[in-house]
Amino acid sequence: MTESDNHIVAEANRRRTFAIISHPDAGKTTLTEALLLLGGAIREAGLVKGKQSRRAATSDWMEIERQRGISVTSTVLQFPYQGRHLNILDTPGHEDFSDDTYRTLTAADSVVMLIDAAKGVEPQTIKLFQVCRLRQIPIYTFINKMDRESRDPLDLLKELEDVLGIRSYPMTWPVGAGGDFQGVYHRQRQVFEHFRGRQEEAEVLQVSGVDDARLSDILGAAAAEKLLEDVELLDVAGEAFDLDRINRGDLTPVFFGSALAHFGVQSFLNDFVQLAPNPTPRKRLDGTVMPTDAPFSGFIFKIQANMNPAHRDRVAFLRICSGKFERGMSVHHVRLNRPLNLSQSQQFFAQDRTTVEEAFPGDIVGLHDPGLFQIGDTLSAGEKFQFEPLPQFSPEHFARVTAADTLKHKQFQKGLQQLSEEGAIQLFRMANRTEDLIIGVVGRLQFEVFEHRLRAEYGAEPVLSHLPYKYARWLAETPVDALNYDHASCMIVRDQQQHLVMLFSDDFALRWVSEKNPQVRLYETSYGLTRVESVE
């Protein structure tokens, strides 16, 4: 390899690009900021209870996020740690914004799964885990809030296996919980971290093993004996540590701690940067792209409008998959089949940005978007190829939308277009009345965010008329007149790519159309339809 190739390999090996997933209120944003503190990226963690008297979280940069105390869009946070370069993809925890999380997961090489020690595996965690399992993403588990009343650790491990179907290897093991929480024992490092309260720094003790007599002095005889029994049980009956199984997503390392108290987080991070994978290969429609392949390639996984409201800018987030990115380089925009100069490139810390001159596989780069990019676009400095399309999930809620003020029609149309292109909503038009606009969302809270952003960012007031539909199904081009369907329970629209889409009010309507139109195949996402078109 050339010196340049060696440099790309070395830089790629330093990258750790991961997402954090959890059910709402499990402490995801708190964990993110604890990691940022350890990396020296921030000096003070934001409190995220959503009260006006407290600072907003660093990763929650939208006005509505600060008002509600929730994350409604993915953000990118980048910082160095122990010679590694970490890219955190902080995703929304609220289930109403799960489509944004699904897309963001396609840019991650590994995932940190956060579990509430009192509540265990919750519904949104199950949904997000299933996406990770489909892609065989390595999963690292942090069981949070051990300083509060918690379930038995062995029960939590059993639930990981019973509900998620994944085996676990506890890297650390807790002593007590709630008011009796005393710390964690690191099984491989033979270190005990003594929890001395939220305002106190943990005492770290190197021991000879879990049977070290000094543990009795610190914990008391009963707690030390319980720790010894638990760890011996794990050694005999538990899973063996196996990095290959971890990288395949078959085994998850488990850590215990308290993100709010910043306890157990450093142990987790120290192990994570050593164990988590480097940038992984990416699938294209006709093969695989290796991170160390030359030249540069990447794909757009997210578009965000108005990150800087003063400039009304739009940023496309690019995941670098191979080769070296350099500012000003010329690449090929595959979908548009045209050359493109990447002169305006930035890296991010939430909404803050700096110009980036070069970047490597695993890195996330923001590109100024004058309207050229769509989610899933492939950029390549070499041969023309297409990465696998990103999934677009079926909306579950629909509304007809109009502008309250016809004098603001231009701002209204621009807002609809940009918010649909970034994936905040899905935009449809009536098949026979194209002036009628319909928006679809996965979760109802997305309607509220859409209305807020249209007012705040575009100065247009929307009027929503909610529709009784629950399902959207894409279908290959078919004469609308030839379809047999009930107009009262179904509606035919077109999406932004002019694909025909049927909206259904309930399961019965969906089954009825399928039975009455056996020649028509319905797809749950536009991804299935796109693949059919590419084959044809």
Residue stretches of the annotated binding site: 22-29, 90-94, 144-147
Residue whose entry in the numeric block shows the structure tokens 């710390």: 183
3-state secondary structure of 349: strand
CA distance 39 to 16: 13
Cβ-contact 399, 446 below 8 angstroms: no
Cβ-contact 371, 82 below 8 angstroms: no
CA distance 56 to 48: 6
CA distance 423 to 402: 19
* DSSP symbol at 393: P
Cβ-contact 365, 322 below 8 angstroms: no
Q: What b-and-e string marks burial along 95-114, b requiring 16 or more CB atoms within 10 Å of the CB?
A: bbbbbbbbbbbbbbbbbbbb
Cβ-contact 369, 336 below 8 angstroms: no
CA distance 448 to 58: 22
3-state secondary structure of 163: helix
Binding residue ranges for GTP = 22-29, 90-94, 144-147
3-state secondary structure of 483: coil
Cβ-contact 13, 6 below 8 angstroms: no
Residue type, 31: L
Cβ-contact 431, 492 below 8 angstroms: yes
Residue type, 43: R
Residue whose entry in the numeric block shows the structure tokens 């790309």: 8
DSSP string, 265-321: HHHHHHHHHHHS--SPPEEETTEEE-TT-SS-EEEEEEEEE-SSTTTT-EEEEEEEE
Q: From 272, 257, 378, 394, select the one nearest 316 (Cα to Cα).
A: 378
- Cβ neighbours around 43 below 10 Å, total: 7
Q: From 424, 504, 513, 502, select the one nearest 462 (Cα to Cα).
A: 424
Whole-angstrom CA distances from 79 to 43, 89, 120, 129, 517 are 13, 12, 30, 26, 54
